[in-house]
């Protein structure tokens, strides 16, 4: 466990003759011209789709858009490291294997490889994943047989068995997103940041954003833009955006997931842990606590904190209940090591897409528009799904 997959190193910055234009702010003039493909959303799924489209169709005229920066500061991509695990059904095996090869830098450039994460990114580490179990199960061993388990985190009397996946690894999803977008731009795609975009029957409408001297975000200018194909990769907001603008009803949903911090020491060899319904991802010298998604959150829901012994805390009720239910098996959650906050804004969180199937997917919305969704399993198969969509789009 903990063996580094490879040395760091970002892709070299190259000034290529056919490199695309980056529009980072409204001070850069933009003259709308028709595009072959517009990808709406530069999160992980959108950036990967743009990357694979440029690999498969080098002459493509493509525009990648995002409302924020790169990667999007308000999405789930940068809140915790990605975790790849071999625990997937057979129907997802090819996608998972491809995603792992992309993460570890095993893919060649002609196959869509992005190389390795850079020296300033969270490293890709073969940590392994340990399921802590209250009873013996197929493939399990006594916890005493595994090394490097943080014994101050759990009660071995209540979780005496464990199942170990040595192939699991952690990686920087934010780095993967950024490198995919950079690769697309170097291959000729244009990138526009700080822009709202909505699908239209003939393409998209761009609303370039600016900030006033009173710190209000306003629409600076609006451009209708024609595109032969549009990929809506707007994360958790994608289905609602498609429904409100195109009138296409989907059966996907979203949920607001919080990611509390558990300040117990971790190292590069500490495995990812799953126990009592929670996943604990080693991150920045501690753990990011990943709760399960129990249900969709209705449209218009605003996350609010719960109460612990009558005291307001920053964990929403469902997350607080998950933590309380896990206290006996994971007593460290009942200590000051867990950051509860005083309000929701004190605890990192983001809206998460819930594809109807539970797995990342894409679907046509019209002859011109596609919906691309990642969700909580994008860590494992997202790159494979984005590549498949790129192969389906007719330039």
- Is the pLDDT assigned to residue 91 strictly greater than 60? yes
Tens digits of per-residue pLDDT, 214-223?
Answer: 888 898 999 9
Confidence bin at 4 (pLDDT 50/70/90): very low
Please, are residues 10 and 174 in contact by the beta-carbon 8 Å criterion? no
Give the per-residue pLDDT at 119: 79
- Is the pLDDT assigned to residue 7 strictly greater than 60? no
Give the per-residue pLDDT at 227: 97
* Percent of the chain clearing pLDDT 70 (strictly above): 93
Confidence bin at 147 (pLDDT 50/70/90): confident
Sign of CA dihedral 287, 295, 381, 44: negative
- Give which of 120, 199, 225 is closest to 367, Cα–Cα: 199
3-state helix vs strand vs coil in the chain, percent to 5: 25, 30, 50
Give the per-residue pLDDT at 78: 57
Strands 190-192 and 62-65 turn out to be: parallel
Q: Which residue has the tokens 């933590």?
A: 323
Catalogue all structural domains in the chain, each as residue range(s) with its CATH number.
1-125+167-258+350-395 (3.50.50.60), 129-165+260-347 (3.30.9.10)
Confidence bin at 72 (pLDDT 50/70/90): low
Tens digits of per-residue pLDDT, 19-58?
Answer: 999 999 888 999 999 999 999 999 999 999 999 999 999 9
Please, are residues 340 and 347 in contact by the beta-carbon 8 Å criterion? yes
d(CA 233, CA 212) in angstroms, rounded, equals 28
Tens digits of per-residue pLDDT, 258-270?
Answer: 999 999 999 999 9
Tens digits of per-residue pLDDT, 103-146?
Answer: 999 999 999 999 887 777 778 999 999 999 999 999 999 999 99
- Is the pLDDT assigned to residue 153 strictly greater than 90? yes
CB within 8 A of 31, min separation 6: which ones? none
Helices (H) and strands (E) in the chain, counts: 6, 24
Phi-psi region of 190 (alpha: psi -120 to 50; beta: other; left: phi over 0): beta
d(CA 145, CA 139) in angstroms, rounded, equals 13
Give the per-residue pLDDT at 76: 54
In SS3 terms, the chain reads as CCEECCCCCCCCCCCCCCCCCEECCCCCCCCCCCEEEEEECCCHHHHHHHHHHHHHCCCCCEEEECCCCCCCCCCCCCCCCEEECCCCCHHHHHHHHHHHHHHCCCCCHHHCCCCCCCCCCCCCEECCEEEEECCCCCCCEEHHHCCCCCCCCCCCCCCCEEEEECCCEEECHHHHHHHHHHHHHHCCCEEECCEEEEEECCEEEEEEEEECCCCCEEEEEEEEEEEEEEEECCHHHHHHHHHHHHCCCCCCEEEEEECCEECCCCCCCCCEEEECCEEEEEECCEEEEECCCCCCCCCCCCCCCCEECCEECCCCHHHHHHHHHCCCCCHHHHCCCECCCCCHHHCCEEEEEECCCCCCEEEECCCCEEEEECCCCHHHHHHHHHHHHHHHCCC
Tens digits of per-residue pLDDT, 184-215?
Answer: 999 999 999 999 999 999 999 999 999 888 88
d(CA 298, CA 339) in angstroms, rounded, equals 27
Phi and psi at 59, nearest 5°, equal: -90, 5
Sign of CA dihedral 123, 126, 130, 131: positive
Give the mean pLDDT of the chain. Answer: 90
- Is the pLDDT assigned to residue 15 strictly greater than 80? no
- Is the pLDDT assigned to residue 11 strictly greater than 80? no
Give the per-residue pLDDT at 3: 43
Tens digits of per-residue pLDDT, 313-353?
Answer: 999 999 999 999 999 999 999 999 999 999 999 999 989 99
Tens digits of per-residue pLDDT, 159-178?
Answer: 999 999 999 999 989 889 99
d(CA 204, CA 198) in angstroms, rounded, equals 5
Q: How many CB atoms lie within 10 A of CB 276?
A: 18
Confidence bin at 5 (pLDDT 50/70/90): very low
Please, are residues 281 and 83 in contact by the beta-carbon 8 Å criterion? yes
Tens digits of per-residue pLDDT, 352-373?
Answer: 999 999 999 999 999 999 999 9
Sign of CA dihedral 180, 40, 68, 46: negative
- Is the pLDDT assigned to residue 17 strictly greater than 50? yes
Q: How many CB atoms lie within 10 A of CB 106?
A: 14
Please, are residues 174 and 192 in contact by the beta-carbon 8 Å criterion? no
């Amino acid at each position: 466990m903990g063996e580094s997959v490879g040395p760091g190193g970002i892709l070299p910055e190259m000034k290529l003759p056919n490199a695309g234009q980056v529009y980072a702010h409204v001070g850069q003039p933009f003259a709308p011209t028709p595009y072959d493909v517009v990808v709406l959303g530069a999160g992980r799924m959108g950036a990967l789709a743009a990357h694979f489209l440029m690999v498969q169709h080098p002459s493509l005229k493509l525009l990648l858009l995002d409302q924020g920066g790169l990667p999007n500061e308000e999405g789930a991509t940068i809140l915790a490291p990605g975790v790849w695990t071999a625990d997937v059904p057979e129907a997802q095996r090819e996608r998972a294997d491809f995603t792992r090869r992309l993460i570890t830098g095993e893919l060649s450039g002609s196959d869509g490889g992005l190389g390795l994460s850079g020296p300033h990114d969270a490293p890709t580490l073969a940590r392994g994943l340990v399921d802590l179990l209250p009873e013996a199960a197929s493939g399990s061993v006594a916890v005493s047989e595994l090394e490097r388990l943080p014994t101050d985190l759990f009660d071995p009397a209540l979780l005496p068995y464990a199942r170990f996946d040595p192939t699991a690894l952690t990686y920087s999803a934010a780095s993967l997103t950024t490198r995919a977008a950079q690769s697309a731009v170097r291959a000729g795609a244009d990138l526009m940041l700080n822009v709202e975009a909505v699908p239209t029957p003939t393409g998209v409408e761009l609303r370039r954003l600016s900030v006033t001297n009173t710190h209000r975000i306003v629409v600076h200018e609006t451009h209708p833009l024609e595109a032969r194909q549009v990929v809506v990769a707007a994360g958790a907001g994608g289905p609602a955006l498609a429904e409100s603008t195109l009138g296409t009803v989907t059966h996907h949903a979203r949920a607001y997931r919080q990611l509390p911090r558990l300040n117990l020491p971790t190292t590069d060899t500490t495995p990812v842990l799953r126990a009592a319904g929670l996943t604990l991802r080693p991150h920045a010298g501690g753990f990011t606590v990943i709760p399960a998604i129990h249900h969709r959150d209705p449209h218009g829901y605003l996350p609010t904190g719960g109460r612990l012994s009558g005291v307001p805390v920053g964990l929403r009720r469902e997350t607080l209940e998950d933590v309380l239910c896990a206290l006996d098996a994971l007593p460290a959650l009942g200590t000051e090591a867990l950051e509860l906050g005083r309000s929701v804004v004190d605890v990192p969180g983001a809206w998460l897409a819930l594809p109807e199937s539970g797995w990342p997917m894409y679907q046509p919305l019209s002859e011109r528009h596609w919906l691309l969704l990642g969700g909580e399993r994008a860590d494992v198969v997202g790159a494979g799904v984005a590549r498949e969509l790129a192969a389906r789009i007719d330039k």
